[in-house]
Amino acid sequence: MTPTERTLGEAIGFLTTSDPRFALSTAPINGTVLPVFASAPANLCDLLVDKVGEYGDRELLVFGAERLSYRAFAEQVWRFAAVLQKDLGVCRGDRIAIAMRNYPEYVIALMAIAALGAVAVHMNAWWTASELGYGFEDSGARLALADDARAGRLHDVVTSMGVRLIRVRSSESQQLDFAELMAGRPHADPPICPATADDDFSIMYTSGSTGHPKGVVLTHRSVMTALWSWLMILPTYEAMGHGIPMASDPQGQPLLQSNLVTVPFFHISGTNSCFLLTLAAGGKVVLMPKWDAHLAVQLIEDEQITRFWGVPTMSADILEAAKATGATLSTLNSIDAGGAKRPASQVGKLASQFKHASPATGFGMTETNGLGLRLSGKEYIDHPGAAGRLIPPVQALRIVLDDGSEAGAGEVGELALQSAANMRCYLNKPEQTEAALKAGWMHTGDLGYQDENGLVFIVGRKKDMIIRGGENIACPEVEGALHRVEGVLEASVFSVPDERLGETVGAAVYALERPSLQQLQALLAGSLAQFKIPEYVWYYAEPLPRGATEKIDKRRIREACLKGEATPCVFA
């Protein structure tokens, strides 16, 4: 059989039986036997050791004028692991928080923590002091790395909880300074990592419909399952005879994979989809400390970036920035999006403006290590509203109806995913874990359907959530903050369509007093991160409308406010 004759299923069968990298076996995980990659490294330390052996002096990490090869990066990881273990007494299973911008120290610390069998706790760098305090209380982390901005917000936490703080790139002398600690350990050998495949690797917080962020506990095997599934995508296309054209240098040689990291490492897409996947593929990652579309265009051209991954807002910004400068971004092979649904009109614009780059989209969750669905190229252009196809070979998909039965083609239900990439649990939340994770199936809370050709379409969410530019916002959390404002009696928070961000935050409020929008935003700034604060507010002169069960009718309120049909509404 020639490669051009292979179907997707035949290509997967061919690769899993003929390519040792993708050989499959099974393993019991949380009481369920699931397919796993037999040859994937057991832990993140082994992955780094393997890649240093393969790529050595190849460039891995770029941040401004700073450039690290695979070997130089690993040497820094081993040195910081020695600092943690020998100078600070870190042991297997200890939890260590990271709260900073996307600096090289972030991923150096992440890999060093993993190398000791300890657990990295990702703190959202946009959180307020109170939100950070919750993260430390929930995780139990008593050692943290932070840049100056986060360290300032952590002052009370450090004092009240006894957290030891390692300052990164600090502007002033510190008791525990990353650079000084590293200077005290100029050489170190790779540690013998005690972590097994099913030991915890990290805790990453994601907003949930219950208000407080939920700590998603991820294991070494779960991360590796996602990475190996993504690594298999290109070989699968090639096995089907659908090779993807790759950009070349002036000598005609294919460019090595390189990824511009535009999203924070405290998101699953930043850590897994961008950094760890690129490391596993032998590529180069270029870091941006904060999003700047014009700088992104410049870096894509200067560093010969082959893959752009960002939330749809960033793709829109790239379109405009490249158009303004006349940049062709000819090295790009793909322009991926995730974190939120990309507007259908944007897909055609990307395909038209960047004809050499394949537009792509994906659906995944922190709870699935980012693994889930993917769609790219002509099929995506032809179906711009689709979320994608299930990424093989170790995942299973169900669309579940309210009665627990499986939906038929075209029937809307809740999307559920089963694989070894799924989280181990929600930290300290057994009831929510049990509700979401059943026999290895992660019930996503997203409503959708699958057509007769296997394409999945997402139509909404069961959870009371807003996705603003890729950031999950729990409506109950914002409502809780509004209720703490003097004079507010009732509040209903909902999504407002936004052309650039996809969605933003709106609120209907019944209150004794009516502060201006700006005044209300200022009152909320102490308890909510900036991206969670409502940008639109409607005041009601009477209690908010209710349904038959006397619950606030959020759908009716949203429709009335957005359509201007609610006569008691006054736009703030």
pLDDT attached to residue 88: 97
CB 499: neighbour CB atoms within 10 A? 10
> Quick one: tokens of 4?
């051009």
- Omega of the bond leading into 515 within 30 degrees of 0 (cis): no
Q: Which band of pLDDT confidence, cut at 50, 70 and 90, is reported for residue 566?
A: low
What pairing do the DSSP bridges indicate for beta strands 307-310 and 334-337? Answer: parallel
Q: Averaged over 103-118, what is the pLDDT?
A: 98
pLDDT attached to residue 210: 53
pTM of this structure: 0.86
Looking at per-residue pLDDT, the higher value among 513 and 214 belongs to 214
pLDDT attached to residue 543: 84
pLDDT attached to residue 316: 86
Q: Which band of pLDDT confidence, cut at 50, 70 and 90, is reported for residue 568?
A: very low
pLDDT attached to residue 451: 94
C-alpha separations of 336 from 233, 375, 432, 462 in Å: 14, 9, 31, 26
pLDDT attached to residue 208: 56
Q: Averaged over 299-303, what is the pLDDT?
A: 96
Q: Which band of pLDDT confidence, cut at 50, 70 and 90, is reported for residue 209?
A: low
Range with lowest mean pLDDT among 10-14, 305-309, 467-471: 467-471
Summary mean pLDDT of the chain: 91
Cβ atoms 411, 400 nearer than 8 A? no
pLDDT attached to residue 176: 94
pLDDT attached to residue 565: 67
Q: Is the pLDDT of residue 571 over 80?
A: no
Q: Is the pLDDT of residue 288 over 60?
A: yes
pLDDT attached to residue 4: 60
Q: Is the pLDDT of residue 117 over 90?
A: yes
Eight-state DSSP code of residue 270: I
**pLDDT tens for residues 360-391?**
999 999 999 999 999 999 999 999 989 999 99
Q: Which band of pLDDT confidence, cut at 50, 70 and 90, is reported for residue 3?
A: very low
Q: Which band of pLDDT confidence, cut at 50, 70 and 90, is reported for residue 343?
A: confident
- The number of CA neighbours under 13 Å toward the Cβ of 503 is 22
User: Which sign does the torsion angle of CA 457, 462, 463, 468 carry?
Assistant: positive
pLDDT attached to residue 547: 67
Q: Averaged over 240-262, what is the pLDDT?
A: 83
pLDDT attached to residue 567: 44
Q: Is the pLDDT of residue 252 over 80?
A: no
Q: Which band of pLDDT confidence, cut at 50, 70 and 90, is reported for residue 510?
A: confident
Percent of the chain clearing pLDDT 70 (strictly above) = 96
Eight-state DSSP code of residue 182: H
Helices (runs of H) and strands (runs of E) counted in the chain: 20, 29
Amino acid type, 361: T
Rounded to an integer, what distance in angstroms lies between the CA atom of residue 353 and that of residue 309? 17
Q: Is the pLDDT of residue 569 over 60?
A: no
Rounded to an integer, what distance in angstroms lies between the CA atom of residue 62 and that of residue 285? 6
Rounded to an integer, what distance in angstroms lies between the CA atom of residue 430 and that of residue 213? 15
Q: Where in the chain is the domain with CATH 3.40.50.980?
A: 45-52+64-194
**pLDDT tens for residues 155-200?**
998 899 999 999 999 988 888 999 999 999 999 999 999 999 999 9
Q: Got the DSSP string for 14-58?
A: HHHHH-GGG-EEEEEETTEEEEEETTS-SSHHHHHHHHHHHHTTS
**pLDDT tens for residues 39-52?**
999 999 999 999 99
Q: Architecture of domain 45-52+64-194 in CATH?
A: 3-Layer(aba) Sandwich (3.40)
**pLDDT tens for residues 512-553?**
888 989 999 999 998 899 999 999 999 998 888 876 555 788
Amino acid type, 568: P
The CATH superfamily holding the domain 465-571 is ANL, C-terminal domain (3.30.300.30)
Instruction: Give backbone dihedrals phi and psi of 39, rounded to 5 degrees, phi first.
Output: -100, 0
Q: Where in the chain is the domain with CATH 3.30.300.30?
A: 465-571
**pLDDT tens for residues 407-434?**
999 998 999 999 999 999 999 999 999 9
Q: Quick check: helix, strand or coil at residue 539?
A: strand
> Quick one: tokens of 478?
């914002």
- The number of CA neighbours under 13 Å toward the Cβ of 322 is 21
pLDDT attached to residue 341: 76
> Quick one: tokens of 382?
């032809």
Q: Which band of pLDDT confidence, cut at 50, 70 and 90, is reported for residue 12?
A: very high
Cβ atoms 354, 323 nearer than 8 A? no
